[in-house]
Amino acid sequence: MSRIAYIDGVYQPLNMPGILVEDRGYQFADGVYEVCAIRGGKLLDEARHLDRLDYSLAALDMPTPMSRAALQQVMRETLRRNRVRDGILYMQVSRGVAPREHMFNPDLKPVLVITARPIAADRRAQIIKKGISVVSVPDQRWARCDIKSISLLPNVLARQSARNAKVQEAWQIDGQGMVTEGAATNAWIVDAKGVLRTRPASHKILNGIVRQVLLDCVVDLGMKFEEKPFSLKEALAAKECFSTASTMSVFPVIEIDGQKIGAGKPGEVAKMLSDAYDAVEA
């Protein structure tokens, strides 16, 4: 079955042309996006994703392409037409189409694109069981990482560094040697004292949706926890490390830069928080 995309008001096969050359998303990466996990045909954390989409649009002075109710209807129709039970739904809003110049007309009509694709249902279970390895790379991104912008070239290069190293993710390191986040994930550790830590939400990281859910879970579980930056050195000495993102929820990290973390296998805290997230989403 051909995949179907929603592009600016039209449902059409994914391989058909749909974006104009002078779309500012194409020419300037002038746009934002969201990725929702689909599990059992259900969109996970839908309200939180739409809230963050509104936040990103407002931060870039972009209007919403349609009402939330209308957007949710398009999301579900895209899901239905693609018959996806387990996978991801991708939403992108560009500022619109206009002759190429840096300034923009605030009255431009935004362009909405939505796609959906399947992911093997057992892939997540395998990641929880086996864990992932990461490499560290310099953080080269702009100063507003809290906006989920489609301008992702530094993230692309970081992920390619991971691929070249034959690992699954890259953790980005700032000029002070502190871990900011992964190329496409938030970063967590259980430090040498047994305290769960992740960097506080600020302009320096994306406030991940799974991150938000797990912060609530941590409180409910009564875990020792701090929103506090940690260094690469602390991560290497940690009892446990893991990443989080909507695609797979929790990614236990068993190795950084070729060095085993803890026992070199997925830890108990990652498993506990994965189970807690699943319970919230059940």
Annotate 47-66 with b (16+ C-beta within 10 A) or e (fewer).
ebbbebbeebbeebebebbe
CB 32 within 8 A of CB 146: no
Structure tokens at 239: 């009892």
Q: Count other Cβ atoms within 10 Å, centred on residue 229.
A: 18
Q: Confirm whether 271 is a catalytic residue.
A: no
Helix (H, G, I), strand (E, B) or coil at 163: helix
Label residues 245-255 b or e (16+ Cβ within 10 Å = b): bbbbbbbbbbb
CB 129 within 8 A of CB 115: no
- C-alpha 66 chain-centroid distance: 23
> What are the tokens at 28?
């300037």
Biggest CA-to-CA distance, the chain: 57
Among the listed residues 135, 212, 215, the one whose alpha carbon sits nearest the alpha carbon of residue 179: 135
What is the H or E stretch that residue 192 is in?
Answer: none
Q: Which of 148, 166, 228, 239 is catalytic?
A: 148
Task: In whole angstroms, give the CA distance from residue 154 to residue 6.
Answer: 27
Taking the alpha carbons at both ends of the chain, their separation in whole angstroms is 29
Any idea which residues carry the catalytic annotation?
148
